Amino acid sequence: MKTRKNEYPVDQRIINRWSPRALSSDPITDEQIAKLFEATQQAHSLLKRSPWRFVYAKKGSVRWQEFFDLLNPFNQRWAEPAYVLLIVLSEKNEYVDVVRQNSLLTGAACQLLAVQAACLDLVVHAIEGFDYEQAAHLLNAPDYTIEVMFAIGKLGNKEYLPDYLQVREYPSGRKVLTDLVFKNLFNQKGVSDE
Convert the pLDDT of each residue in 18-47 to its tens digit. 666 678 989 999 999 999 999 999 998 877
pLDDT on residue 183: 73
The whole-number pLDDT of residue 1 equals: 44
pTM of the model: 0.83
176-194 average pLDDT score: 68
Q: What is the pLDDT of residues 110-159, one digit of tens each?
A: 999 999 999 999 999 999 999 999 999 999 999 999 999 999 999 767 77
Residue 93 has pLDDT above 80, yes or no: no
pLDDT value at position 26?
A: 92
Q: Which of 1-10, 72-81, 104-113 shows the lowest mean pLDDT across its residues?
A: 1-10
Residue 98 has pLDDT above 70, yes or no: no
User: Which CA distances in Å does 61 have to 64, 66, 132?
Assistant: 5, 9, 21
User: Tell me, what's the pLDDT at 20?
Assistant: 64
Mean of the pLDDT values across residues 45-51?
A: 81
**Digit-coded pLDDT (tens) for 54-87:** 999 999 999 999 999 999 999 999 899 999 999 9
